[in-house]
Chain A
Amino acid sequence: MSWLPVSSAATLQAIIAIASKDLLVEQRTKTAFFSSLVFAILVLTVLYFARDKTSVGDLDLAPGALWVTFTFAGMLGLNRAFVLERENRAMDGVRLTPATPTAIFLGKVVGSLVFVGTVELVSLPVFILFYDVPIWRELPILILVIALATMGFVSVGTLFASMVVRTRFSEVMLPVLMLPFLFPPVVAAVQLTRGILAHRPLSEYSGWLSLLAAFVIIFSTFSLFLFEAILEE
C-alpha cells in the first residue's frame, strides 16, 4: 500500500523538510504568527468583558474563554499551511518530490503544531495574567491537556484545510466544516480545564481525558489515511 512509508528514515527526513519549509516561510514574514497572537489576546480581552461580573466569576469564565481563544486563533494558523501552497501551485512541486502523502501530511501537521503551539504558549501566560488563575502547581497537567487537544485539532484541521484550499472561499469554509469536529475535543478540554483550575483530583475528570485521548487517536488516524484521497490527482 502506497501510504506505508518506504523507509522510515526517508519519511522522517521528508516530514522535517516540509515542516521546516513552512516554518521558515513563516519566520521570514511573521505575519500569521503575530496576527494570530494579537487575535488571541483580543479574544481573551473581549470575552473577559462579555459577562455580568457580579454573577459570573473569573474562574467560571476562564476555561471556556481559553478554549474559544485557542480554537479561533488556531484556525487562523491552519488555513495558512495550505494557502501557502496555493500560490504559484506550489503544492504540485511538493507532490513531485519523493515524499509520500503520509510524509506530506505529517510534515504539514508538525509545521502547524509548532505554529499553533507557539501561539498557545505565548497566549497562555496572558490568559493566566488576565483571568488571575492560580495555576502554577497544575501547569504540567494543563499543558498535557493543551497538547492533546491541539494535536487532535491540528490533524483534523490539516485534513480540512487541504480540502477547502481548493475552493474559492477557503477562509469561510474552514470553520463551517471544521467546528463540528472541534466540538468533542473542545468540550472535553474545557471540562478538564475547569477541573484543573478548581484543583480537583484527576480521578474526577479522567473520563474527559479518555474521551479527548480517544478523539485524538481516532481522528488523527482517519485524517492521516484520508489525506491520501485528497492529494491524488
Chain B
Amino acid sequence: MGGVITAVALVAFAGIYVRALMFTPIERFQGPAQKIFYVHAPVAWAALLAFLVTGILSLLYLIMRDRKLDTIAAASAEVGVAFAVVMLTTGPLWGKPVWGTWWSWDARLTSTLFIFLLFVGYQVLRGALHDPEIRARFSAVMGVMALVLVPFIHVTVYWFRTLHPEPVLMKPERPSLPGVMLVTLLSSVAVCTLLYVGFLLMRYSLAVLRDIREEEMVDGIS
C-alpha cells in the first residue's frame, strides 16, 4: 500500500516539475531560481505536517498507551527528517540568488531549523533506549515538549528581528502568486502530502516487521 502510494507520488512529482519548468512562466524578479520554490515550499509543508503528526500522536500515546501510536509517531519523525533535510538544502539554494545570502535568521527559517534539530534529537533519544516500552514513553514526552516549544521559538525569533531594523536586501515575504504559479504550487503541495503518506506507510510497515523480529529474537533467547 505504502509502496504504491509512494510510486504514484513520485511519478506525480516528476509531472509537477515538467509543469513547473515547461508550463509555468518564469517569475519576473527572481528569474529561473524561483522554480525551486515548487519543491521547497511543499517539502517544508510536509516536514511541518510530519512534525505535527509526531507531536499529536505522542500526546495521544501518553493518554491511550497504544504501541501503534508510538510506532506511527516514530515513522513520521523519521520521514520528517528526510523532508526537513530537503527543505533546509533547497532553501539556501533559492535564497542565495534571490535574497543575496544563503541563510537568514528569519522566524520561519529558524523555527524550521529547530524542527529539524528536534527531530534529530528525538531520533537520537530513541536510538539510545532499548526497552521498547521506555522508548515509547520517553520519546512521547519529547514529542509533546517539542510540539509546545516550536511556537515559542517562532515568537522569540520574530520579536528578536522586529526589534532590529528590517534588512533591505533580504525580504522574507514572498510576493503573492499569479494563478498559474499557484496551481503548480498547490498541486505540488498535494503531491508532497501524498509522498509523506506513502513514506509514512512504508516506514510503518518496516517498523512493524522489525518489532515482530525483535519479539521472535526475545522468544528465541528465553
Chain A residues in the interface with B (C-beta under 8 A):
156, 159, 163-164, 166-169, 173, 176-177, 180-181, 183-184, 187-188, 191, 207-208, 211, 214-215, 218-219, 222-223, 226, 229-230, 232
Contact = CB atoms under 8 A, between A and B. Distances in A.
A41 B117 CA distance: 29
Interface string B129-172: 10000100110111011101100110111011001000000000
B121 interface: yes
Candidate in A184, A188, A218, A223 with the most chain B CB atoms within 10 angstroms? A184
Candidate in B118, B148, B149, B153 with the most chain A CB atoms within 10 angstroms? B149
B114 A180 contact: yes
28 contacts: A159-B145, A163-B141, A167-B125, A176-B121, A177-B124, A180-B114, A180-B117, A180-B118, A180-B121, A180-B149, A180-B153, A183-B114, A183-B153, A184-B155, A184-B156, A187-B156, A187-B157, A188-B156, A191-B160, A207-B159, A211-B152, A222-B144, A223-B145, A226-B144, A226-B145, A229-B137, A229-B141, A230-B141
B77 to A, nearest CB: 14
A229 B125 contact: no
A166 B129 CA distance: 7
Given A180-B118, A181-B149, A211 B156 contact: yes
B218 interface: no
A87 B166 CA distance: 53
Contact of B62 (A173, A207, A229): A229
B148 A219 contact: yes
- The DSSP consensus for interface residues of chain A is helix
B115 to A, nearest CB: 9
Given A166-B134, A173-B128, A180-B121, 17 more contacts: A159-B145, A163-B138, A163-B141, A177-B142, A180-B153, A183-B114, A184-B149, A188-B156, A191-B163, A211-B152, A211-B156, A219-B148, A222-B148, A223-B145, A229-B62, A230-B137, A232-B137
The 4 closest A-B pairs by CB, nearest first: A167-B128, A184-B152, A184-B156, A226-B141
A230 B129 CA distance: 13
A181 B122 CA distance: 13
Interface in B107-128: 114, 117-118, 121, 124-125, 128
A215 B160 contact: no
Contacts of A163: 125, 138, 141-142
Contacts of B128: 164, 167-169, 173
B209 to A, nearest CB: 25
Contacts of A188: 156
B160 A187 contact: yes
Contacts of A166: 129, 134, 138
A222 B145 contact: yes
A211 B137 contact: no
A178 B201 CA distance: 30
Contacts of B118: 180
B156 A183 contact: yes
B145 A181 contact: yes
Candidate in B128, B140, B144, B148 with the most chain A CB atoms within 10 angstroms? B128
Contacts of A207: 159
A163 B156 CA distance: 26
A167 B140 CA distance: 16
Nearest to A221: B148
Contact of A211 (B142, B144, B155): B155
A226 B62 CA distance: 9
Contacts of B155: 184, 211
A184 B152 CA distance: 6
Nearest to B62: A229
